[in-house]
Chains A and B, each alone.
Chain A
Amino acid sequence: MIFSSISFLFFFLVITIAIYYLLPRSLKNSWLLLTSLFFYGYGEPVYILLMVFSILVNFIIGLLMGKYETKKKLLLILGIIINLALLGYFKYVGFLTETISLLFTNVAIKTVALPIGISFYTFQIMSYLIDLYRGKCSSQKNIITFGAYVTMFPQLIAGPIVRYRDVELQLETRTESWEKFSNGVRLFTIGLCKKVLLANTFGGLFDELVGTGKDAGTPGYFVAMIAFSLQIYFDFSGYSDMARGLGNMFGFDFLENFNYPYISKSISEFWRRWHMSLGTWFKEYVYIPLGGNRKGSVRTCINLFIVWALTGLWHGASWNFVFWGLYYGILIILEKLFLGKVIDKLPSFFSHLYALILVGLGWMLFQFTDMHELYAFFTVLFTGGMAISNDAIYLIFTYLPMLIIGILACLPIWRDAYNKFKDKKWMPYVEAVFVAVALFVCTSALVTSTYNPFLYFRF
């Protein structure tokens, strides 16, 4: 199930919220677990079994780790192996067999349907086991509470990656309130607008521009790159906003996942602002255990390489994601070595431009899983010439108002304005109008996407 669907908004969410608030405290987590399992299994019901298996195994390992202090390390290793094996099988076996076939010898290419959210919840579970080992949290004795943590539908399929220790207390003793719910409505509505009104629109522009072919020239493909950068930001951050908003509605507080990444002045800064929960996870559970930057500059570089290759691979089982990760690894190492100091001295206009263009190029690496398509795109982008086809001009003009809205929506000016006026007497009414209008507009966009004229009689 996805948040931006009619079934989710007008059926699943209605029932889930209504019953959640009717149930006594003692049953709220059970209800969350139940609805989350339903949410998870909605597309592929058989994977509910996989989920239940994951919960059971990790719950037991956690219990044992709490009980047998001396066997903790062994249990942790066992847990990590099981979780990575499941992730590896379901996400990477196709990629692996394909690569082996390509490089060495023909093996049967095996494809497995990817269980949604597996990358996210596997990382969440591992945060629990590792923190348990490190003594940063205590083992969960209640399987329902643990199950609710693992499956929690707001962040199940697209994050943020919530560390167990960040919500350990909330799982047991959170309180719901009008303030939290209001905040949830704010975040959810903003996220829904980002996804439905902005991301989908820019996705359309990107596809159409690339579809006009090489005649679009360098300017046409450059705008396509901008469109994709906007699409992926609004898509992903919109999803995170909705997740955090839903969390709020059920009394949870999840950490921020995006902090206006496109105002960054360097690549390192971009990654401190983009998908922050993933960055934190890799830093805490991979980079620092590898030695971080404490073992000399050579080891630091190697560590960074490992972390970024894994970050790339985490995003998808395909070589282009590995290259995409390494691309950032190299840029960040360069920035650490000398580039960072150079950029600091530049006028901020140029450092913004530097970061945005490199991020944009990175997104193309991310977008094209097919290397031929990627090559074709870059050929036009760099050598297409300044001539631009009429069809591309038409598209850019059509989307121009939305592009301007999109670019403005990447800036923190709205948050600043809100913070400035939020205590004013009229603010609640302005917000109310905004939320109501936004819900109407988003619903109309959602419904329209299902409007499907069967115009056979076009002839």
Chain B
Amino acid sequence: MDWNHFIIYAFAAIVCWIAGAVLAWKSSRRLWPNVLTLLGLGIFFSFIVGMWVSLERPPLRTMGETRLWYSFFLPMVGLVVYNRWRYKWILSFSTLMAVVFICINIFKPEIHNKTLMPALQSAWFAPHVIVYMFAYALLGAAFVMVLYLLLRKSKPITAQEMDMTDNLVRVGLAFMTFGMLFGALWAKEAWGHYWAWDPKETWAAITWMAYLAYLHYRHYAPSKVRPALILLIVCFVFLQMCWWGINYLPSAQGSSVHTYSLN
């Protein structure tokens, strides 16, 4: 298995996910959307496992590899939301987002070689990054929900829809907390300190606190929906900054120990 096989697996997975999303619109029965989405997830995950085996390390080092996990988790989160809240449209959105990230990986693949620098050779590596990617996928789904609610003019936003958004954020934030604290425990073993205000850490703190502000605000003024949703957009911008934006941020150049893909 190598990166050249990606397009085949990705195509097969996308076909399954699109079929599942279309069937979710067409009928109220949830069996086929579930079967097809799970099949797509299985195909996609088998590629991830194949890469893991052939690279002899977890495929989590480069930005391209983290996008791989993100494209995997998005339909998974979409499926959970679909089953939990019965939203027909969520699978279309999660599929669309996954396709965007898959396309980035097809058109701009980053070097995926076997090298794994000693700093990354740790039992903490996989849990730290996978948990973060899962959190990002949940918060990505929450962001999609925000866009849907803000752009929809046909009917007012219901309390149940806000409840779903809050739950996505709450679970996403819980996973983000795991990712951040696993990172702190790992940093102590690798770099000698659990928190060094490295640019990546600073932006992780900004993102984490902004989402905390959102949850507290929701608790404080449940009926004031628009300011909350706008705050959630800001949170998601911070998250993107933390994930990849800082690679282009002048203040973070040359000072981050978190850069592993640009060597």
* Pair from one complex: no
